[in-house]
């Protein structure tokens, strides 16, 4: 199987895979593969807000009553390779967390909101050079959000070759250490006609390392979705699969995927008691 990092580097300038950024900044010639988020942030080659950016939301828990309980948000949704790195994952991260990607208004899919975090490539090309593997994701906010949650759902993009599927396949691979969460995701996707496969093989696809950011939760386990290029492309209007256009050109399949994922989160949370 082709390793994720190798393929991302080879196809870093392919618009369908990496997206098109809102700036015209290209990859600095001196850029090297970052060993971690910490290393990337410290590298003077890259500039926050020019080459890359971060977005997140931690919801307030304010419990001043001795008799009532404030709700505890159980789940965090993350996109470690958003923007132009793995196109479509930023928009899905926001929608699954409960926010419309265009304006952060409440999503049309009913249900609660969840904490979220994303790292995004902002360049016109070469965003694959910003790819930090999930086991080396050490962003402080990402780590703290996952560590304070019972569940973390990590969203990724992959090619059919990485997933071990036929060329052009529209599918989602489900990984992570939380087997119950994985089963609910598999059931919900299958119920709405989305091809879902249990991830296996190399750790980056299967998400089974305890060091994977999706598993750095209070329970020591989470879930990871690897969506093929064709599946993600089908969620946005033709010719609008760019950073600038995706959020305002969402097709019904985008909301079908979002709703199925949110139902799986609801199911896993329903079985988790917060004392």
Distance CA 173, CA 179 (A): 13
Percent of the chain with pLDDT over 70: 88
Q: Residue written as tokens 């093989």?
A: 201
Burial class for 14, CB neighbours closer than 10 Å (0-12, 13-18, 19+): middle
Q: What is the DSSP letter of 99?
A: B
Q: How many CA atoms lie within 13 A of 270 on its CB side?
A: 8
pLDDT in tens, 168-213: 999 999 999 999 999 999 999 999 999 999 998 778 899 999 999 9
pTM: 0.89
pLDDT in tens, 242-264: 999 999 999 999 999 999 999 99
pLDDT in tens, 28-68: 544 567 999 999 999 999 999 999 999 999 999 888 988 88
Per DSSP, the chain holds a count of helices (H) and strands (E) of 10, 7
Q: Mind giving me the DSSP string for 181-242?
A: HHHHHHHHHHHTT--EEE--SSHHHH---TTSGGG-STTS--EEEEEEHHHHHTTB-TT--S
pLDDT in tens, 81-119: 999 999 999 999 999 999 999 999 999 898 999 999 999
């Amino acid at each position: 199987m082709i390793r994720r990092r190798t393929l991302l580097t080879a196809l870093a300038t392919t618009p369908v895979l990496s997206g098109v950024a809102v700036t015209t900044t290209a990859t600095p010639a001196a850029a090297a593969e970052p060993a971690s988020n910490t290393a990337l942030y410290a590298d003077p080659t890259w500039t926050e807000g020019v080459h890359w950016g971060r977005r997140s939301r931690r919801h307030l828990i304010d419990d001043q009553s001795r008799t009532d309980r404030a709700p505890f948000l159980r789940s965090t949704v993350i996109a470690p390779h958003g923007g132009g790195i793995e196109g479509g994952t930023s928009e899905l991260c926001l929608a699954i967390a409960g926010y419309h990607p265009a304006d952060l208004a409440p999503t049309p899919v009913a249900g609660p909101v969840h904490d979220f975090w994303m790292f995004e490539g902002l360049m016109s090309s070469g965003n694959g050079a910003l790819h930090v593997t999930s086991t080396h994701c050490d962003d402080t906010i990402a780590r703290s959000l996952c560590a304070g949650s019972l569940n973390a759902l990590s969203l990724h993009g992959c090619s059919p070759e990485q997933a071990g599927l036929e060329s052009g396949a529209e599918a989602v691979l489900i990984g992570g250490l939380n087997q119950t969460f994985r089963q609910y995701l598999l059931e919900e996707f299958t119920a709405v006609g989305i091809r879902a496969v249990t991830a296996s093989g190399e750790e980056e696809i299967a998400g089974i390392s305890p060091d994977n950011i999706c598993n750095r939760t209070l329970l020591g386990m989470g879930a990871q979705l690897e969506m093929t290029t064709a599946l993600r492309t089908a969620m946005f209007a033709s010719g609008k699969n760019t950073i600038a256009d995706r959020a305002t050109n969402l097709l019904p399949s985008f909301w079908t995927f979002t709703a199925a994922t949110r139902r799986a989160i609801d199911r896993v949370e329903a079985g988790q008691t917060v004392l």
